[in-house]
Amino acid sequence: MTQAATLHLGRLPNLGPLFELFNAGKHLNHIAEPALWAELEKEQEQYQELFGRLGFTLRVDRRGFAWFHFDNASSNVSRTTRQLALLFMLLFELKADEGMHLHRFGDWIIDRAVLAKLLERGHDLLLAEGLDEESLVGLLDRACAYGFAESAAGGWRLLPAVWRYLDHFVKLAGEQDGEIEEGVDVSEAIETSEEDEPA
């Protein structure tokens, strides 16, 4: 039987704020919260051990984001997750068609002009979800609340947590095509799978 690791709570001064953030379903991003990220990175094993003992799974991605992984998300979170997946999928397709490198999504500014293009290109998909320009604005505000985006001059900027969606899209597209490649069409892939969405 292995012995449990010793916890040193004195090394975790931001335990409360981090737990509150993660337990609310939000993501910690190194860009938006550099001080909290630095502490989490420094004491990652301590946080994962402590949260694990409390019944939570803390996942930390080396690309600069962390979250509590929940196997059974509520229906409200699942709806928001599905809508965010659709929004990000359409955005990635638009940017790929414009010749943008998808891995540079943190450099993009998403403004009303971009939303108008998304509405034109993805009209039927967005209509099926009941999403118009104003509800896309509201959806981006929810993306900010969950740590997927932040407000920027004239619009929004995507944060590193969006890697969860991009990884998922590329994986699904790769499974359909038998290989993973840059510039894949992810729209068909996301339509065929909702059971493994980021939660």
pLDDT in tens, the chain (199 residues): 344 567 778 788 899 999 999 999 899 999 999 999 999 999 999 999 999 999 999 999 999 999 998 776 555 557 888 899 999 999 999 999 999 999 999 999 999 999 999 999 999 999 888 999 999 999 999 999 999 999 998 899 999 999 999 998 888 877 766 544 444 444 433 333 333 445 5
Helix (H) or strand (E) holding 65: strand 65-69
Helix, strand or coil for residue 3? coil
**What domains sit in the chain, N to C, each tagged with a CATH number?**
9-69 (1.10.10.2250), 75-191 (1.10.10)
Question: Which pLDDT score is estimated for 8?
Answer: 74
CA neighbor of 89 nearest in space, from 196, 187, 157, 189: 187
3-state secondary structure at position 156: strand
**Which H/E stretch holds residue 119?**
helix 112-121
d(CA 44, CA 102): 28
User: What residues contact 68, with CB distance under 8 A and at least 6 apart?
Assistant: 22, 23, 25, 51, 56, 57, 58, 59
Whole-prediction pTM value?
0.77
Cα distance between residue 24 and residue 156, in whole Å = 21
CA 156 to chain centroid, in Å, comes to 14
Cβ–Cβ under 8 Å, residues 187 and 89: yes
In single-letter form, the type of residue at position 157 comes to R
